[in-house]
Amino acid sequence: MSSPTRSREPQPALERKIGPLQATAINMTQMCGIGPFVTIPAMVATMGGPQAMFGWIIGAIVALADGLIWAELGAAMPGAGGTYLYLREAFQYRTGRLMPFLFVWSAVLFIPLIMSTGIIGLVQYLGYLIPGVTDDAGTTPLGKIIGVGITLVIVAALFRKIGQIGKLTTVLFVVMLIAVLTTVVAAFTHFSGAQAFAFTPGAFSSAGEGTFWGGLGAGLIIAIYDYLGYNTTAYLGGEVRNPGRTLPRSILFSIVGIMSLYFLLQVGVLGSVPLEELKTATSVASTVLEQAWGSVTAKIVTVFIVVAAVGSVFAGLLGGSRVPFEAARDKVFLPMFGKLHPKLNLPTAGVLTMGAITIIGSLFTLTDVINAAVATLVIIQSLAQVAAIVTLRRRQPDLKRPYKQWLYPVPTLLALVGWVYIYVSATWLSIGLSLGWIALGAIAYLVYAKAENTWPFGPKEIKEAFASTETEGAQA
């Protein structure tokens, strides 16, 4: 059963100013911030040695399979909010607005939590530059204060027009490339192949801690965390020019590019830093740079690494702040999130709210935040989108799809297996917290549905928004 769709008064619109180069730069800047610089030691420790390099490859395969889902959905439904739109269109037939509501409810939490890990990581590297920022126990109170201050600066920097943001992100992307490639070159100037590929006996046995298979689940959580961000332009779909071509290309190019950089970085570090030292390093890139070219060069490049981390958080909050925007415009989330800044045309409430949660998350430890954020993301976004692409192929066969997934449904099934494995590999605390958060969201949805007289307390509102009419300006 369906009810008449609600008319909405004309409202300020987002501007399509992001081109192909800027879109790819936004994704790659978000993907490669501080992540690999702080998680390589954890990956090596988790997987027991040099075999960690294969963890990045398997993680890239899962990311690429998932990226092909994002590519098809994003090209077909280019609008602000990304997953919100895909779940709204796919699940409206049976559960009304429940799934898109749960996604926005969760995204407002997990997106800034992921960004907070960037703040935690960059403070670790600031410890190499500024005494007193870190100690043997981790980040000091001074470090936490600095992290809060940097987050406030990032939030302030987001208050500008999207055209200016695109140019700024391109600059940050160049800084990121310089930081990563310089570290890679430094590692290979004193590289030992025998050390990098010194797999211990039994490293690939089928069981036991410290083996490849024994640590793969936890290692994939780290790897997929480092790859996250290839979907950022899908959140910005309402601000991308020619999204039918730009979105798929930016997603796929960024995954392949970052995979190559990560693999080179991991192998280079393995061949230049002794294994036992690597497992406990807190600023491994600075260590590599110092032993290659001295402390002065190491400090200069460490500044670039910190700037790259700032760029990653900047790009993540840029995309994430758009997620609740479309939901609020549809009256599926709090109305304040649907209002644009009168001069800058940006969703003010989304930027401020996610900035505040990023600050809170930065006060916790890195591994705890990674586990909690990834577990929540997997269950309400990644697995839900697997169901969405299948449902939309069946329910809306005539939906205009500028890009269709290669070898469908093979990548979709591969992504499903990968995400299920990653989810069950998370800590029990993270799994419990993710399920608890979603349960709270379901309760909140029932309150909302009762007030709005929508499913399950009223009729479903069926509106195939992208199948029935062309989105205004979508191919402009």
pLDDT (mean) for 349-353: 95
Q: What is the DSSP letter of 240?
A: B
Write a three-state SS string for 305-342: HHHHHHHHHHHHHHHHCCHHHHHHHCCCCCHHHHCECC
In a domain, 449, yes or no: no
Q: Determine the 3-state secondary structure of 363 from DSSP.
A: coil
Q: What are the pLDDT digits (tens) for 386-403?
A: 999 999 999 999 999 999
pLDDT (mean) for 117-141: 88
Total residues found in the chain within this entry:
476
CB 17 within 8 A of CB 224: no
Residue 192, CA atoms < 13 Å, CB-side half-sphere: 9
Q: What are the pLDDT digits (tens) for 236-246?
A: 998 999 999 99
Residue 436 burial by Cβ neighbours in a 10 Å radius (0-12, 13-18, 19+): exposed
pLDDT (mean) for 411-429: 95
CB 388 within 8 A of CB 447: no
Tokens of 420: 């299920």
pLDDT at res. 14? 77
- Mean pLDDT check: name the lowest of 169-178, 237-246, 417-426: 169-178
CA distances from residue 442 to 35, 293, 420 in whole angstroms, order as listed: 32, 55, 22
In a domain, 320, yes or no: no
Residue 154, CA atoms < 13 Å, CB-side half-sphere: 33
Q: Determine the 3-state secondary structure of 239 from DSSP.
A: helix
In sequence order, the β-bridge partners of residue 80 are 236
In this structure, which amino acid lies at residue 191? F
Residue 277: give the domain boundaries.
Answer: 20-77+116-315+349-437
In a domain, 110, yes or no: no
CB 419 within 8 A of CB 383: yes
Tokens of 284: 């491994």
Q: Return the higher-pLDDT residue of 460 and 443.
A: 443
Answer yes or no: is pLDDT of 230 > 90: yes
In a domain, 310, yes or no: yes
Q: How confident is the model at residue 12 (pLDDT cuts 50, 70, 90)?
A: low
Q: Determine the 3-state secondary structure of 134 from DSSP.
A: strand
Cα 416 to chain centroid, rounded: 18
pLDDT (mean) for 196-210: 75
CA distances from residue 349 to 108, 215, 237 in whole angstroms, order as listed: 11, 40, 19
What is the chain's mean pLDDT, rounded?
89
Q: Tell me how many degrees the CA angle 94-98-99 measures, rounded to the nearest 5.
A: 90
In a domain, 326, yes or no: no
pLDDT (mean) for 366-392: 92
In a domain, 168, yes or no: yes
The enclosing domain of 311 has a CATH number of 1.20.1740.10
Whole-angstrom distance, CA of residue 83 vs CA of residue 88: 8
Whole-angstrom distance, CA of residue 242 vs CA of residue 250: 12
Answer yes or no: is pLDDT of 210 > 70: no
Considering only CA atoms, which of 364, 310, 315 is closest in space to residue 151?
Answer: 310
In a domain, 459, yes or no: no
pLDDT at res. 204? 79
Residue 433, CA atoms < 13 Å, CB-side half-sphere: 18
Answer yes or no: is pLDDT of 2 > 70: no
In a domain, 344, yes or no: no
pLDDT (mean) for 119-137: 89
Q: How confident is the model at residue 207 (pLDDT cuts 50, 70, 90)?
A: low
Whether residue 409 has a cis bond before it, omega within 30° of 0:
yes
Residue 364 burial by Cβ neighbours in a 10 Å radius (0-12, 13-18, 19+): middle
What proportion of the chain, given as a percentage, has pLDDT over 70?
94
Answer yes or no: is pLDDT of 359 > 60: yes
Q: Determine the 3-state secondary structure of 82 from DSSP.
A: coil
Q: What's the total number of domains in the chain?
A: 1
First to last CA, the chain: 35
Neighbours of 280 (CB within 10 A): 9
Cα 410 to chain centroid, rounded: 23
Answer yes or no: is pLDDT of 175 > 70: yes
Answer yes or no: is pLDDT of 413 > 90: yes
Q: How confident is the model at residue 313 (pLDDT cuts 50, 70, 90)?
A: very high
**Is the pTM higher than 0.85?**
yes
Answer yes or no: is pLDDT of 132 > 80: yes
Q: How confident is the model at residue 208 (pLDDT cuts 50, 70, 90)?
A: low
- Mean pLDDT check: name the lowest of 76-80, 137-141, 216-220, 445-449: 137-141
In degrees and rounded to multiples of 5, residue 87 shows phi and psi of -75, -35
Q: What are the pLDDT digits (tens) for 250-261?
A: 999 999 999 999
Answer yes or no: is pLDDT of 193 > 70: yes
Q: How confident is the model at residue 5 (pLDDT cuts 50, 70, 90)?
A: very low
Instruction: Provide the angle, in degrees to the nearest 10, between the axes of the packed helices 295-320 and 348-361.
Output: 130
Q: Determine the 3-state secondary structure of 168 from DSSP.
A: helix
CB 260 within 8 A of CB 99: no
Q: What is the DSSP letter of 467?
A: H
Tokens of 365: 């430890």
pLDDT at res. 394? 96
Whole-angstrom distance, CA of residue 274 vs CA of residue 362: 30
Whole-angstrom distance, CA of residue 418 vs CA of residue 217: 10
Q: Determine the 3-state secondary structure of 135 from DSSP.
A: strand
